[in-house]
């Protein structure tokens, strides 16, 4: 019995040791990828807007459309309505009309109004804001946002990163694809789970730069179809590339 317990203990220790070595190797890999991204794309400016509620609405409007169209829709919304209370109380058709250039106007208008009404229920007569996020730890702030109607991990992370300068890590389709090809997350990890894994893997001070630079890399080189591997500055770290090379040999 004691020998069996000793064997089990040894096996657990071996597994723990292997996991620690894997984590250490992955941490070192992230550091190398970060350095390559900065060498290639630089450190992007990080200028939080300070307006979390405005960022939330803008992020909703950006879904399934181009930056140009979503920015136009947001500008038209703010021009049409002087306050978020006015957006909340307007006939939904008027909100739809204001944001029509962003696409999916009915769905987005209804979602924005639901969120504003829910916030009003929570805040009473106070002006509509998301200032409550300033006092919350990062995980609690993410959970608060994800409890709002139609707000998922990516939207919540975008709001915190770009409006309040909090070190969240949004995972869009480019970040997800590039991270999988590099081997930072497994091939069966979905985008939602990737938020948690990458948040734990990437140091807070690197998250904004890695988010922006991975998107640029996904758009410019690591395309969903026909990625330009021969000119990729990350190929030395890329599992996808080396699997491709091995297949061709």
Domain ranges of the chain: 52-164, 173-248
CATH of domain 52-164: 1.10.340.30
The active-site residue, picked from 9, 29, 108, 154, is 154
CA atoms within 13 Å, Cβ hemisphere of 59? 24
Concerning whether 108 is annotated as a catalytic residue, the answer is no
CATH class of the domain at 173-248: mainly alpha
Asked whether the CA dihedral 138, 56, 194, 45 is positive or negative, the reply is: negative
How distant is the alpha carbon of residue 149 from its chain centre? 18
Is 118's pLDDT higher than 80? yes
pLDDT digits (tens, 9 = 90+) for 65-87: 899 999 999 999 999 999 999 99
Model pLDDT, residue 22: 54
pTM score, whole prediction? 0.87
* Residue indicated by tokens 């091939």: 187
Is 6's pLDDT higher than 90? no
Model pLDDT, residue 61: 96
pLDDT digits (tens, 9 = 90+) for 189-236: 998 899 999 999 999 999 999 999 999 999 999 999 999 999 999 999
| Cα first-last separation, the chain | 51
Question: 25: helix, coil or strand?
Answer: helix
Q: Which residues contact 147 (CB under 8 A, 6 or more apart)?
A: none
Is 23's pLDDT higher than 70? yes
- At 89, the pLDDT band (50, 70, 90 cuts) reads very high
Average confidence score pLDDT of the chain: 90
Contact between 98 and 81 (Cβ < 8 Å): yes
Is 99's pLDDT higher than 60? yes
């Amino acid at each position: 019995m004691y020998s069996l317990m000793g064997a089990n203990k040894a096996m657990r220790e071996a597994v723990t040791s292997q996991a620690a070595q894997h984590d250490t190797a992955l941490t070192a890999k992230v550091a190398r990828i970060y350095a390559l991204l900065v060498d290639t794309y630089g450190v992007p400016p990080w200028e939080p807007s300070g307006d979390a509620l405005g960022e939330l609405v803008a992020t909703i409007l950006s879904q399934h459309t181009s930056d140009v169209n979503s920015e136009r829709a947001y500008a038209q919304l703010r021009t049409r309505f002087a306050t978020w209370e006015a957006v909340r109380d307007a006939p939904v058709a008027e909100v739809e009309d204001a944001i029509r250039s962003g696409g999916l106007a009915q769905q987005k208008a209804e979602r924005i109004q639901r969120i504003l009404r829910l916030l009003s229920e929570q805040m009473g007569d106070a002006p509509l804001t998301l200032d409550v996020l300033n006092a919350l730890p990062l995980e609690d702030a993410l959970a608060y946002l994800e409890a709002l109607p139609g707000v998922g991990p990516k939207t919540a992370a975008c709001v915190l990163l770009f409006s309040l300068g909090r070190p969240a890590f949004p995972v869009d389709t480019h970040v997800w694809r590039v991270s999988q090809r590099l081997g930072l997350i497994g091939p069966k990890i979905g985008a939602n789970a990737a938020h948690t894994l990458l948040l734990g893997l990437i140091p807070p001070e690197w998250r904004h730069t890695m988010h922006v630079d991975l998107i640029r890399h996904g758009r410019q080189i690591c395309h969903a179809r026909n990625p330009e591997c021969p000119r990729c500055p990350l190929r030395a770290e890329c599992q996808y590339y080396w699997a491709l090379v091995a297949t061709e040999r």
